[in-house]
Structure 1
Amino acid sequence: MKLYFLENITSKIKSILGSPSLGVKAVIFNNKQQVLLIQHTYRVGWHLPGGGIIAGETPRGAVCREVLEETGLTISNPLLTSVLLNKWRYQHDYVLLYKVTDFLGFPEIQDHHEIENIGWFNLNRLPDGITSSTRSRISEILNGDNQNDHW
């Protein structure tokens, strides 16, 4: 929780000073036509796993690390599908979106201070409370329509 607080403060300072952040998100599909979603303890709704890129880290390394930290899955061969601008209040984030179909393990909450819930959801029955941006990113990847520039 302390780390999240520090990251949140850092993010706010950067947004005020005009320094954009760079993050990653993963759309993870299993072989049962399901997508993996998480609920954070500090944010409402169902979201894609992901987070910020650490200085000196590659985007591919960041998405692998974030997925492992949040879900316990070890992913391989993440495919970069788009780079999107996420403008929220005064904050400007760039999100690198990856499609993932290769992974090892079973989803399990790794940090109960950050992740409240995790689960696989059928693509034709996404959960109540899924964010509109999460729903849009899943749809864009499924339909091969990556024309959107905004999160």
Structure 2
Amino acid sequence: MADFRVLAWKIARPMARLYWRVRRPLTAGVRAVVFDAEGRVLLVRHTYIGGWYLPGGGVERGETMLASLRRELDEEAGVLLHGAARLAGLYANFREFKSDHVALYVLDHGTYEQVPRQSPEIAEAGFFAVDALPEGISASTRRRIAEIAEGRAPDELW
């Protein structure tokens, strides 16, 4: 069975690369570092992938980055943005054979309200102290939080 999977991947991989280059040459996404009154950061755990991540997602056709941020925060965590979202950095993600670009925003306490929300794609959401992040947090998420918390210049790659 494992040999079949390897063979299937060897055949599918070039087709996947071609698809991403022809059909989706450039994709855009948004993520947010959302701080609460205690300086903790909001993380979400999806139902379809393991680990903890910053809330966010893909920018839809005809949608601005900020509109996408508002939609994704509301859908995933019930965060309703009322104030300014500060752009912290732009990142490139070249995994999965595509050219993905991610805009990272920061929301400080007082710029949003949070309302209870159930989402079929979110298994769990919660605020965590920057120095006590949960096990299973993605490496990219950990790096983004450290950049913001420590005031470091953003890396180019997600």
**Uncovered stretches (5+) of structure 1, i.e. residues with no partner:** 1-10
Q: Which amino acid aligns with 2:85?
A: P
Residue 66 of structure 2: which of 60, 85, 110 is its match? 60
AA matched with 2:131: N
Q: Which runs of 5+ in 2 are unaligned?
A: 1-15
Q: 1:6 matched to which residue of 2?
A: none
CA distance in 1, matches of 2:156, 2:47: 28
TM-score when normalising by structure 1: 0.85
Q: Kindly tell me the number of residue pairs found equivalent between the two proteins.
A: 139
Deviations 1:92-142 (A, max 9, x none): 210000001121124x44312x11111111111000000110000001011
Is 2:123 the partner of 1:116? yes
TM-score, normalised relative to structure 2: 0.81
Distance 1:47 1:13 in 2: 29
Question: How far apart, in 1, do the equivalents of 2:124 and 2:117 lie?
Answer: 7
Partner of 2:11: none
The offset of 1:44, in angstroms, is 1.2
Asked if the contact 1:49/1:66 (under 8 Å) is kept, the reply is yes
Letter in 2 for 1:41: T
- On the 8 A contact 1:47/1:131 being kept in 2, the answer is yes
Which 4+ stretches in 1 moved above 2 angstroms?
A: 11-14
Pick from 37, 45, 48: which aligns with 1:42?
48
Q: Tell me whether 1:31 sits opposite 2:40 in the alignment.
A: no
Matching residue's letter, 2:154: Q
State the Cα RMSD in Å: 1.9
Instruction: Write out per-residue CA displacement over residues 29-67 of structure 1, whole angstroms, 9 at most, x where no aligned residue.
Output: 111120000011111100000011112211111111100
| Whole-Å separation in 2 of the counterparts to 1:14 and 1:39 | 29
Question: Structure 2 CA distance, aligned partners of 1:147 and 1:137?
Answer: 8
| Greater radius of gyration (CA) | 2
**Identity between Structure 1 and Structure 2 (%):** 36
Identify the structure with the greater strand proportion: 1
> Partners of 1:24 and 1:65 in 2: how far apart?
10
CA distance in 2 between partners of 1:46 and 1:150 (Å) = 19
3-state SS, counterpart of residue 15 of structure 1: helix
**Preserved contact between residue 77 and residue 114 of structure 2 (Cα < 8 Å):** no
Confirm or deny: 8 A CA contact 1:81 1:146 kept in the other structure.
Answer: no
Question: Partner of 1:89: helix, strand, or coil?
Answer: helix
- The answer as to whether partners of 1:109 and 1:115 remain within 8 angstroms in 2 is no
